[in-house]
Chains A and B, each alone.
Chain A
Amino acid sequence: MERLLEVKDLAVSFQTYYGEVEAVRGISFHVNKGETVAIVGESGCGKSVTANSIMQLLPMPPAFYKRGQILFEGEDIVKKSEKEMQRIRGNKISMIFQDPMTSLNPTMKVGKQIVEGLKKHQKLSSSQAEKKAIEMLELVAVPQPEKRIKQYPHEFSGGMRQRVMIALAMVSNPRLLIADEPTTALDVTVQAQILDLMKEIQEKLGTSIILITHDLGVVADMCDRVIVMYAGKILEEGTVDEIFENPKHPYTRKLLGSVPRLDMDRSETLFSIKGTPPDLYKPPKGCPFFDRCDKAMVICKDHMPGKASHSKSHYSSCWLNHPMAKKDAEGSEE
């Protein structure tokens, strides 16, 4: 498998009036060509900051890269100038956002918004670009594209707008698509349509996708591998099957147990995780899940556990999975 993107020990902070907020605190992961990787986690865990820092979309200041590298096709994005980024953004890496209404320009016809990118990145003439825009809308299954390119975003429904966003993101056939909660604002039946569309386009064009979501159902539906983030750290990563069937980190277990499933017995109680995630102004020295974990030990408070490997693709950061630990995360004696 060829690596398209490799993030190495990335740390991103925000300088605020009250001090430094350490949003992402040293994460490493990679994305292979043609695969879909999910980043899951609760609000404030740093998943969107990670996505935006790959695109260099964070406002700097207050944000700054503290350390680490983001290698995209071997080149470090952290070191790129704004001018170089403009050639990458929307061309090699594209992004779609949660709210299609705020990410489309309301005063500009939809066709023009697509044409704009084509003219800039592919140097097409106006008529060629318009033809391509119609093709793109066809690709994302917007009915009557000739008529639709002359309309404004408010004339589109939520699902149709998200289709336009995908068309916009895919015009220059990017290698990597970052989808930040692409279906959160949509209804389930529309969500299903959009997810199918993304899969279909990925098959056709071979794009890699980073899917940021908090919906574990969407992850199970879409992804090859999963990265679980919490308080700016990666706590566990593995293939979808490994994460859903054999989660090794107590947080992942709790997270999976806290969503009701359509096929679960109603008398079962949902796991709830007590408390709330830590404040990232003063992130804890040790494991960030320490004060919410019911298996926490003395060592967890002050020392962040290293990565323990469970298979070639499955890693977790928990002292219970340390080779010297007496008990494993399931609590059984080994």
Chain B
Amino acid sequence: MVEPLVSVRNIKKYFDVGVGMLKAVDGISFDIYPGETFGLVGESGCGKSTAGRTIIRLYEPTHGEVIFNGRNIYQLSRQEMREVRKDFQMIFQDPYASLNPRMTVEEIISEPMEIHKVYKSSKERRNRVMELLNLVGLNEEHALRFPHEFSGGQRQRVGIARALALNPKFIVCDEPISALDVSIQAQVVNLLKKLQDELGLTYLFIAHDLSMVRYISDRVGVMYLGHMMEVAKSEELYQNPIHPYTKALLSAIPIPDPKIQRNRQRIELEGDVPSPINPPNSCRFVDRCPYATDVCRKSTPKLEEIKEGHFVACHRAREF
């Protein structure tokens, strides 16, 4: 049995918004194994980005623990945390906003190495920058340019090079391709896959584009209003979704093939996602679920293993 690299245990992140507690992430647990890509999907406001940030402690958690390499990183001091941080990095959604416009690409990529004092001489550091640029499909000429001189796809490559600078083990990719055009998305996804193979990286891939998540992830978790609704292997989740929300979500994605798309039946969801401020103690999906019964209104279902490796949080999961 392989030990998980990251083990997320019942993490919660609440924000006090004045009128109540906004429960962005409300007790989610899952494991990520070395070398795999764990996809986290859900609609806007479901807490997937907050979860990603809380896991690497960019947000101070309200509750829970994250075991990384055998240590609970939520209990580490600032000093210890700094050491551990080298091992996890993040790639952001907006390649325009996540690079400092006043720094050259070389400065951007070498900054993490300077902070952690990994190289003694600037020459060594420079060599490493060039190596990283080549790795992500840019070249040495790009080092002295500024972010505005690059296209969106190239900027995302710079962001990836920066994330790789400290040889991390685990990378949180928060919607890394949603701001890019389709033809460029494929370039970046293929690059992420190639880097994973070469460097043995582990990814947490957060996105709302379910077809892309299915393509890149080994296992996928579906979130809704701060709760994890279903976790399964990627093929299993897409072929045999159990949770009514996952089913509706999958049926809503249009398939780029007119013959198939014309004959598909959509499961239409009524209404919108309710507010995450002071949510009631019920299944989060109850108001929009066509199968809801009394028990769904009275208690929150736990995430349980229904089939091997297939976890579902639904009171009626065994009936489906």
Which residues of A are at the interface with B, using a C-beta cutoff of 8 A?
Answer: 42-43, 157-160, 187-193, 195-196, 214-221, 240-241, 244-245, 254-256, 258-264, 266, 269-274, 276
Contacts and interface: CB of A to CB of B under 8 A. Distances in A.
Give the bracket for the number of chain B residues in contact with chain A. Answer: 35 or more
Nearest to B217: A266
Contacts of B181: 42-43, 214
Instruction: Select the residue from B183, B208, B256, B258 with max chain A CB neighbours within 10 A.
Output: B183
A244 B235 CA distance: 25
Contacts, number: 123
Contacts of A264: 215
A244 B259 CA distance: 9
Nearest to B250: A262
Nearest to B270: A193
A189 B254 contact: no
A189 B252 contact: yes
Nearest to A45: B181
Nearest to A257: B186
Given A220-B255, A241-B258, A196 B215 contact: no
Contacts of B253: 188, 217, 262
Interface string B195-228: 0000000000000101110110000000000000
Contacts of A158: 44
Given A244-B256, A262-B211, A263-B255, A189 B249 contact: yes
A187 B208 contact: yes
A196 B153 CA distance: 33
Contacts of A269: 190
Closest 3 CB pairs of A and B: A217-B254, A260-B215, A187-B43
Interface of B: 43-44, 151, 153-154, 181-187, 189-190, 208, 210-212, 214-215, 234-235, 238, 248-261, 266, 268-269, 272-273
Given A258-B183, A262-B210, 6 more contacts: A42-B183, A43-B181, A188-B253, A195-B254, A256-B256, A273-B187
B14 to A, nearest CB: 22
A31 to B, nearest CB: 19
Contacts of B208: 187-188
Contact of B183 (A217, A255, A261): A255
Contacts of B252: 188-189, 191-192
A218 B209 CA distance: 13
B256 A270 contact: no
A196 B186 contact: no
Contacts of B185: 258
Nearest to A218: B254
30 contacts: A42-B184, A43-B181, A159-B272, A187-B208, A188-B210, A189-B43, A190-B43, A192-B254, A192-B266, A214-B182, A217-B254, A220-B254, A220-B258, A244-B258, A254-B183, A255-B183, A258-B186, A259-B182, A259-B186, A259-B256, A260-B215, A261-B256, A261-B257, A262-B214, A262-B255, A264-B215, A270-B215, A271-B186, A272-B183, A274-B187
Contacts of A270: 186, 189-190, 215
A264 B273 CA distance: 30
Contact of B256 (A42, A188, A220, A254): A220
Contacts of A42: 181-184
Nearest to A192: B252
A214 B185 CA distance: 12
Contact of A273 (B43, B186, B189): B186
B266 A196 contact: yes
A146 to B, nearest CB: 19
A74 to B, nearest CB: 31
A215 B182 CA distance: 8
Given A260-B215, A262-B214, A266-B234, A272 B186 contact: yes
